[in-house]
Amino acid sequence: MYRIVRAVAASAAITTVMLAAPAPAAAQLGAVEALLRNATDLSFYFNTGGLAPGQDGIRTGDWGLNGFGLELLFEIGRVRAQPSGTAAAVASTDEPREWKEMRIVRTGSGLDTTYVYEEPRVLWTFELAVGYGQTAGFEASTPGLDLRGAIRDLPAVSLYANYEPMGVYLGLRSGFMRTQALQVYADDGSVIPGSAESFLAGTVAGKTFGLGRLTLFLEGAYALRHFPSVQWSPGGPLAPEIPRSLTLSGWSLGTGIQFGIGKQ
């Protein structure tokens, strides 16, 4: 329970640091330092993908959607296999262990008895992740309309369930998203900047490959990204072809690497 409280508190801290108004640098560094002390892993990822059918007025560019990001992960729980034989504990604070064998060695002072225990293997681990991501690679499908920009997830919060024997995981993701450098370039050379904010929702499934303290992973994801209203500036009448809303829901395939940075 204490680990869960620490993880949630750390997640709240990074959200506050990212979204709060400007504060003294020393205070922000202190919050980040406290956050890093509670994190167990840091991951970096890259992905590519496409839009779901039915995205009015929007299509992907020549290279499809492309994105990158990072996450800080906090282990919030684990489930171990039940011991198959006689379970015992060396001390009251230890987790139950399975008795494996008893070794008796004859020494100069008599017999030395050693009891060998085996810890039950971990079946499931649960992680909370807080991160940042950016997605680009979309454009207007209307001829003559040059629309450019990106979507930033700041922050994105994910909850992962990892099945350790097979190295696979499932996850849910949500968070705050906003457009970045969204602009329409008109035929007369003028630029119309736009902005929009909303919340994302998505699912993730992946496979991990352990390399010591490093973990490589491959994952597929689907994200719901809908901006019901885009604010274009300056105000005034807009051309009919300029979108009033944006829907950028779609799928992605990605890969990345994860580093252990805390005690397991």
**Is there a single domain that holds both residue 142 and residue 99?**
no
Check: CB of residue 76 under 8 Å from CB of residue 3.
Answer: yes
Cβ atoms within 10 Å of 113's Cβ, excluding its own: 9
Is residue 18 situated within a structural domain?
A: no
Q: Which domain CATH number covers 221?
A: 2.40.160.20
How many residues belong to the chain? 264
Residues near 189 by beta carbon (within 8 Å), at least 6 away in sequence: none
Q: Is the peptide bond before 143 cis (omega within 30 degrees of 0)?
A: no
| Domain end position, chosen among 68, 103, 118 | 118
Interval 65-79: pLDDT, tens: 999 999 999 999 999
Burial class (CB within 10 angstroms; exposed 0-12, middle 13-18, buried 19+) of 208: middle
Cβ atoms within 10 Å of 180's Cβ, excluding its own: 14
Q: What percent of the chain has pLDDT over 90?
A: 53
pLDDT band at 20 (very low <50, low <70, confident <90, very high): very low
Q: Which pLDDT value is given to residue 261?
A: 87
Report the domain count for the chain.
Answer: 2
Interval 97-125: pLDDT, tens: 655 666 666 677 776 767 666 678 889 99
> Which of 2-11, 59-68, 88-97, 232-241 is most confident?
59-68
Check: CB of residue 69 under 8 Å from CB of residue 254.
Answer: no
Q: Is the peptide bond before 120 cis (omega within 30 degrees of 0)?
A: no
Range of the domain at 165: 40-80+123-260
Q: What distance in Å separates the CA atoms of residue 125 and residue 233, rounded to the nearest whole number?
A: 47
pTM summary value: 0.76
Q: Average of pLDDT values for 8-35? A: 52
Interval 208-254: pLDDT, tens: 999 887 999 999 999 999 999 999 987 667 888 899 999 999 999 99
| Domain end position, chosen among 70, 95, 118 | 118
**Is there a single domain that holds both residue 105 and residue 135?**
no
